Structure 1
Amino acid sequence: MPWKMLCIAVFLTAVIPLSPASGAENCRVCHREQLTGPHRAIGCSACHGDDRTTVRNPATAADRAARCVACHRGYDRLFDQAMTTRAPEQAFVAGTIGRTDGRFFATQCNGCHVRGCLDCHSGGHALSRPRDGICLTCHRGYFVGADYHGQAPREDAFRYQRGPQANGETFLPMLPDVHAEAGLSCGDCHSMASLVTGSKAAKRCTDCHRPDPRVIEHAIPAHLERLECYACHAAWAPQEYGTFWLRFTDSPRKQAQFGAVPHRDDYLKSAYLKKQDAPPLGLNAAGRVSPLRPEFILYLTDIRSERVVGQENRLLAARWKAYFPHTVQRGTVLCDGCHDNPRRFLLEPAVERLYRLRDDGLQLDSFWDRRGQRVANGAFLAPERIRKMAERTPAFTRSYLRKWKLLTGDAGGSSRH
């Protein structure tokens, strides 16, 4: 009998993890995980605790990644920023469709938000720095990120759902950002240090680039003083005009009837029009001229038992957003693209309208008529300022002629280079 007790004691010593005071770990007696990458020399207990206080997921936002920030100090502040809270999106939903459906954000919008460090630093025990593919799991479709790699949202109709795919969605191939073509990744401009402070980027254009005064557009002081660089250098931008949500109750034929994009629960979503050209312009929060796009021009229709209840296509929001399209190219639009183009500033003349929205029951005169619409994080340019921009002053005429001579090869180099 004594020899049996001795064997049992030896066996238990081999398999039961030692106390932290012993300075050793026996985790791998049961767990065959192997650490690779930057954490390969760290013991299990540094992240998971000892045998009495084991933490299954030490990187979760639920406890602000307490184990991670024991070493990576300060990075728990990321859980207070929009990537985790999604406060702007929640506020938009709460003020619009959330008034009729308090669960809308949770059921339709809550898929992309940071739940812990491993959402970006994926790989389990093979932790690594995030690559662009990880960023694009959320920053895709209509949201900034996919455009950097030349991916534009396609029209919703099923016949357009073809071509290349990324993250389970088909996209329209477009010209990538010149920085993407040069091999720069998201992290080259969007560092962790900037994200935890709530900054959108760690670098501005002028941190790497200096405006060349030999370029016609750069030689005009008002351009450098009043415009964001990407107001001219964003080659294109995805724009969605008219976002329709259809809510169904007791309507089993919803998809066959409407042919829109199916969503969770009882919703379908479709868009009136999607564009991928040069975006409209307005003012951002800093008061500088910036690209705008519809944050959402949002309509809701309630359908019960195949019949519309209340107003069809009820307008819930007509909000625009100043933003930075990640579609930078060296060239710019011609002078007329801004200086004699009221439509680009949402002052479309009635005689030039192609879409008759009010006749279609959509409660706006035009998507490109600012009346009844607003910019959430900036403003529309004053009409008087736009009229002044359209004046053919001698200085404008000289620059305009010089531009055309450069483009036709009659003089020197070109602002395209």
Structure 2
Amino acid sequence: MPWMMHFIAVFWLAAALASPADGAENCRACHRDAVSGPHAAIGCTPCHGDDRSTVGNPATAVDRAARCVACHRGFDRLFDHAMATRTAERQFVARTVGRFDGGFWADNCTGCHVRGCLDCHGGKGHAMSRPRDGVCLDCHRGYFVGSDYHGRAPREDAFRFQRGPFAGGEQFLPMLPDVHAEAGIGCGGCHDMASLAAGRRSGKGCRDCHEPDQRIVEHRIPAHRERLECYACHSAWAPQEYGTFWLRFIDSPRRQARFTAIPHQDEWVKSAYLKRQDAPPLGLNSAGKVSPIRPQFILYFSDIRSERAVGEENRLLAAEWKAFFPHTVRRGTVMCDGCHDNPRRFLLEGEKERIYRLKDDGLSLESFWRREGQRVVNGSFMDPERVRKMAVRTPAYTKGYIEKWQRLTGDAGTSSRR
């Protein structure tokens, strides 16, 4: 049998010296995957390795997509981005409902979590493509910034409100979209991959494309240009959830049955006291600029066991707000008194203006629009004295107010003579 041993030796030597193309052909002798897109011409081994070190999924976050970043250098830093680590969300859960259920995060919060490059680039790796908005909105939907860009707001929790169009498996309330979305600009127009890999939220700011028009009265005011984010005025609306209730039912079928009209997550039920879709309150962001803020979250918790509440029912675990950028930009803005004579918008609501009586409803806060007992986690509420000064109607304020109304009504001429 010497000739047989010689044949086997020659065969294995040829296999060891095979080119990448030959290796790809050997792969396809068993694997019938059709490869398309930008990687179609590079063969199998550059991504999956050879037969001695084969990697089934070269794009997974477990090894920071080592095979991908061998070519796409630097993009492994995406796994350090907030989208991947979700540090803030983890910490919030840990200091709230996680105190009562150590598995809450794993059971309820891991659906939108960067697991690898294929989360965005899709195709199971063999049909790679650039992410489009629909892929982004698989995670950036509901109460999270993203779906508002396309005019989608979360509906009320009860099933009877679940009607209308679907997106991402959820029905949404159709709203006015962002003017940039109407112009056909996708998410990647501002949020490019290089900026995300660098740890930034976006690669462009408003002023990178737009220069304030000095013919607009608001743009001529130095304090507006220097102290306000552009979207403090130009965000038309934003989803806001006031009072987020998480209820846990254990061996309590009778009391849990009261919530059959609300979607469940195993033993947990979530509902909201109030949802709004209008111009959000204002505060200061981490840069010290005036910015929209909203609850994220004013969280109440009830633990129901054997049909009885354990401890305090509707106990307040957090009253936290977050400065954010609603993706609902429009050319127009609110009128001057939408901010300058509106203490409620700065969480300084007066007793006489109060509509919702939370204390009478068994809740611990006086009002959602009173800052006492609440905080902004990535900024602060605006100083009350500053808000008071803003409400003073100086001659300059009156002049600008009249000019704005004249432009709105089309009467920009001078006033009539006496």
Using the size of structure 1 for normalisation, the TM-score is 0.94
For residue 145 of structure 2, what is the aligned residue in structure 1? Answer: 144
Q: Deviations over 1:151-194 (max 9, x none)?
A: 00001111101111111111000000000000001011001111
Amino acid at match of 1:410: D
Decide whether the 8 Å contact of 1:108 with 1:263 is kept in 2: no
User: What RMSD over aligned residues (CA atoms) do the two structures have, in Å?
Assistant: 2.0
Contact 1:298/1:315 (8 A) holds in 2: yes
Query: 1:81 is matched by which residue type in structure 2?
Result: H
CA distance in 2, matches of 1:84, 1:272: 30
Query: 1:263: Cα distance to partner?
Result: 3.5
Deviations 1:111-160 (A, max 9, x none): 11100100111012010011110101100000000000000000111110
Q: Which residue, 16, 20, 37 being the options, matches 1:19?
A: 16
Q: Distance in 1 between matches of 2:256 and 2:149?
A: 32
How far is the alpha carbon of 1:21 from its aligned partner?
5.0
The answer to whether the Cα contact below 8 Å between 1:17 and 1:51 also exists between their aligned partners in 2 is no
CA distance in 2, matches of 1:20, 1:165: 54
Shift of residue 260 of structure 1? 5.3
Residue of structure 2 equivalent to 1:162: 163
Contact kept, 8 Å, 1:319 with 1:375, in 2: the verdict is: yes
Does the 8 Å CA contact 1:295/1:320 hold for their aligned counterparts?
Answer: yes
Contact 1:294–1:320 (CA<8 Å) still a contact in 2? Answer: yes
1:89 has 2:86 as partner: no
Gap change, CA 1:48 and 1:283, over 3 Å in 2: same
Shift in Å, 1:40: 1.2
SS in 1 for 2:314: strand
Residues 13 and 151 from structure 1, CA distance in 2 versus in 1: closer, same or farther, beyond 3 angstroms? farther
* In 1, Cα distance between equivalents of 2:202 and 2:15: 46
Partner of 1:74: 74
1:409 deviates by 1.4
Q: Which residue of 2 aligns with 1:415?
A: none
Distance 2:290 2:29 in 1: 62
Name the CA distance, whole Å, in 1 between partners of 2:11 and 2:133.
Answer: 47
Stretch deviating more after TM superposition (32-41 or 137-146): 32-41
- Which whole-Å CA distance do the structure 1 matches of 2:11 and 2:277 have between them? 67
The one-letter amino acid of 1:41's match is A
Which position in structure 1 is the counterpart of 2:322? 321
SS across alignment from 1:235: coil
Question: What are the residue-to-residue correspondences of 1:109-128 with 2, within 5 Å?
Answer: 109-124=109-124, 125-128=126-129
Which amino acid in structure 2 is aligned with residue 140 of structure 1?
A: R
**Distance in 1 between residues matched to 2:348 and 2:216, nearest whole Å:** 29
Structure 1 residues 64-73 or 262-271, which shifts more? 262-271
Percent identity between matched residues is: 72
Aligned 8 A contact 1:283 1:380 in 2: yes
**2:51 corresponds to:** 51
Find the counterpart in structure 1 of residue 289 from structure 2. 288
CA distance in structure 1 between the partners assigned to 2:381 and 2:104 by the alignment = 30
Using the size of structure 2 for normalisation, the TM-score is 0.94
CA distance in 1, matches of 2:153, 2:359: 28
One-letter code aligned to 1:376: V
Secondary structure in structure 2 of the residue aligned to 1:238: strand
Q: How does 1:3-42 map to 2 (within 5 A)?
A: 18-19=15-16, 22-23=19-20, 24-25=22-23, 26-42=26-42
- For 2:75 and 2:15, how far apart are their aligned partners in 1? 31
Letter in 1 for 2:333: T
Distance 1:129 1:178, change over 3 A: same
Query: How far, CA to CA, are the matches of 2:380 and 2:236 in structure 1?
Result: 22
Q: Is the aligned partner of 1:367 residue 2:368?
A: yes
> 1:45-84: CA deviations, max 9, x gaps?
0000001111000000001111001000111111111111
Residue segments in structure 2 that go unaligned for 5+ positions in a row: 414-418
Q: Partner letter of residue 106 of structure 1? A: A
Opposite residue 330 of structure 2, the aligned amino acid is: Q
> Counterparts of 2:105 and 2:261 in 1: how far apart (Å)?
20
| Deviation of the 1:265 alpha carbon | 2.6
What is the CA deviation profile of residues 304-343 of structure 1, one whole-angstrom value per residue up to 9, with x for unaligned ones?
1222221110000000000000000000000010000000
State the distance in 1 between where 2:14 and 2:194 align. 37
Alignment check: 8 A CA contact 2:158 2:263 kept = no
Q: Which residue of 2 aligns with 1:273?
A: 274
| Contact 2:137–2:146 (Cα < 8 Å) also in 1 | yes
Partners of 2:35 and 2:142 in 1: CA distance: 34
In the alignment, is the contact (CA less than 8 A) between 1:139 and 1:146 conserved in 2?
yes
Separation (CA, whole Å) in 1 of partners of 2:234 and 2:198: 27
Contact 2:237 2:278 in 1 (8 A): yes
**8 Å Cα contact 1:17/1:27 also seen in 2:** no
Letter in 2 for 1:18: A
In structure 1, what residue type is equivalent to 2:16?
A: S
Correspondence for 1:174 = 175
Between the aligned partners of 2:163 and 2:276, the Cα distance in structure 1 is 17
Residue type of the partner of 1:130? Answer: P
Partners of 1:67 and 1:121 lie apart in 2 by 15
> Whole-Å Cα distance in 1 between the matches of residues 152 and 193 of structure 2?
25
- Matched AA of 2:58: P
2:60 equivalent in structure 1: 60
1:190 aligns with 2:187: no
The one-letter amino acid of 2:105's match is: F
Equivalent-residue separation in structure 1 for 2:266 and 2:256 (angstroms): 12
The residue type equivalent to 1:363 in the other structure is S
Partner of 2:226, secondary structure, is: helix
Kept in 1: contact 2:159–2:263 (CA 8 A): no
The 8 Å contact of residues 218 and 224 in structure 2, kept in 1 or not, is answered as yes
SS across alignment from 1:248: strand
- Decide which moves more: 319-328 or 305-314: 305-314
- Equivalent residue number for residue 379 of structure 1: 380
Assess, with a 3 A threshold, how the Cα gap between structure 1 residues 362 and 67 changes in structure 2: closer, same or farther. same
What is the DSSP-based 3-state SS (H/G/I as helix, E as strand, rest coil) of the residue aligned with 2:257? helix
Structure 1 residue 18: deviation in Å?
2.8
**d(CA) in 1 for partners of 2:411, 2:309:** 62
